[in-house]
Amino acid sequence: MKLTDFKALTFDSYGTLIDWETGIVNGLQPLVAKAQIVASRDQLLEIFGQNESAQEDETPAMPYSQLLSVVYKKLARIWDVAVTDEDANIFGASVPDWPAFPDSVDALLYLKRHYKLIVLSNVDRISFRASNSRLQVAFDAVYTAQDIESYKPALRNFEYMLRRLRDDFGVEKSDILHAAQSLYHDHVPAKQLGLASEWIDRRHTEKGCGATKPPVGTPGYDF
């Protein structure tokens, strides 16, 4: 198997192309200050990730910006502080402020010359629109949790993407390489569906899984 075997690269966006962990930690700072808690970056990411994942399971059709607001209020209750709807909504609307990784733009512009580029993301369309402007590339297709009304790692999201790529572009599963950071959200379901995948290990200098749940076992990946 070689990289040149593929016609399309499908990307997770947040955690892979966009530095969502920095965005999350920055967005939580007003709540952390109000709660006067002392926690490391990874501790904040872990508690956020636990509550975010649970909320995605509970309300799979809820747009991501709204879901972030709900998670913010849950964290406020856990830390026993009062917050307003405005406080929560500011955090929910913070995705456009999340930075791209420094190498994302140049890499995408290069890859665009050789492959179709597709996004499969756990966000809503309005939030991704701002992130897309940071990434500075015209994706051939963008499929969001809002479109599918479920969140990865649901197989439904990948099945939707595979169906759309086949019907809209004539791209078959064997033509696709899925690139992602999250073993839990992306590589586990990709392997279940027989989709080739590439691990972009953004946390290679850090311990733990950050804002994502740890996967069961050791998921396979091809690159």
Q: Which residues contact 134 (CB under 8 A, 6 or more apart)?
A: 18, 99, 100, 105
**Secondary structure element (H or E) that encloses residue 176, with its range:** strand 176-180
| Cβ neighbours of 72 (radius 10 Å) | 23
pLDDT in tens, 30-79: 999 999 988 899 999 999 999 999 999 999 999 999 999 999 999 999 99
| Per-residue pLDDT at 63 | 96
| 103-150 pLDDT tens trace | 999 999 999 999 999 999 999 999 999 999 999 999 999 999 999 999
Evaluate if residue 173 carries a pLDDT over 90.
Answer: yes
d(Cα 112, Cα 140) in Å, to the nearest integer?
Answer: 9
Which of 83-92, 124-133, 179-188, 199-208 is predicted with the least confidence, judged by mean pLDDT? 199-208
Say whether domain 21-97 belongs to CATH 3.40.50.620: no
The ranges assigned to domains in the chain are 3-19+99-199, 21-97
CA separation for the pair 170, 61 (Å, rounded): 28
Q: Mean pLDDT for the chain?
A: 95
What is the predicted pLDDT for the residue at 213? 84
Catalytic status, residue 12: yes
Strands 141-144 and 8-11: unpaired
Predicted confidence band of residue 177 (pLDDT cuts 50, 70, 90): very high
Residue 84's pLDDT is what? 96
pLDDT band with cut points at 50, 70 and 90 for residue 195: very high
Which superfamily does CATH assign the domain made up of 3-19+99-199 to?
Answer: HAD superfamily/HAD-like (3.40.50.1000)
pLDDT at 219 over 90: no
% of the chain with per-residue pLDDT over 70: 100
Average pLDDT, integer, range 94-108: 97
Does the pLDDT at position 217 exceed 90? no
Q: How many CA atoms within 13 Å lie on the side-chain side of 146?
A: 14
Dihedral (CA of 159, 160, 166, 171) sign:
negative
